Amino acid sequence: MKKFNDPSAMQTNKNKQHNNGFSLIELIIVIAIMAILVGVMAPSLLSYIHKARVSTDWANLRAYYSELEADFVSTGEYNPNVPIVHGGSGTWDNREIHFLSGQTVKMKAGYFAVTEAASGSGYQISYYCDKCLTDWAKHKDSCTLVLGARG
């Protein structure tokens, strides 16, 4: 049995008090490593988020284009409720799709314009993402979409 003032008992008790958790230095090192990992991963994660938003816009525009073409084929004429850009007149900054069924969908990452197809047989929709305005060379192939007959 150990006595109260036995030096070996005091040493054992002292060691137990210091092994209860992490030191401040260890916590700072872990936080620094996590910050570096987030800094490395953030650009790629933001890129994936942008691509997902563009894909959502494309899917909505394809559905809108299908609806417009079906309406054109069934009636043989352009719908007056569709905002068509003629030459330089009209808006190239459509941020909402107004389906003929009455549903409205907001664009997530870009804008579009509806024009008459050059052949005169339907519609053409052109889409550009917002990043195309700032970095055309990088985004022109991955973030643009043209639906409909050309020339």
The H-assigned helical ranges of 1-151 are: 7-18, 24-75, 131-134, 136-139
Number of domains in the chain: 1
Q: Which domain holds residue 137?
A: 7-148
Which two tokens mark 108? 């997530």
For residue 54, the number of C-alpha atoms closer than 13 Å in the C-beta half-sphere is 19
The answer to whether residue 2 sits within a structural domain is no
* DSSP code of residue 89: B
Task: At 129, give phi and psi (nearest 5°).
Answer: -80, 165
The answer to whether residue 80 sits within a structural domain is yes
The answer to whether residue 1 sits within a structural domain is no
**Higher pLDDT, residue 47 or 68:** 68
pLDDT at 45: 85
Which two tokens mark 14? 């002292």
Res 13 pLDDT > 60: no
> What number is the average pLDDT over the span 15-26?
74
Res 100 pLDDT > 90: yes
The answer to whether residue 114 sits within a structural domain is yes
Res 99 pLDDT > 70: yes
Number of helical (H) and strand (E) elements in the chain, helices listed first: 4, 5
For 101-113, how does the pLDDT look when each residue is reduced to its tens digit (9 = 90+)? 999 999 999 999 9
For 49-64, how does the pLDDT look when each residue is reduced to its tens digit (9 = 90+)? 988 999 999 999 999 9
Report the CATH number that the domain containing residue 48 is assigned in CATH: 3.30.700
**Higher pLDDT, residue 10 or 93:** 93
CA-to-CA distance for 3 and 9, rounded, in angstroms? 8
Res 66 pLDDT > 90: yes
Res 68 pLDDT > 60: yes
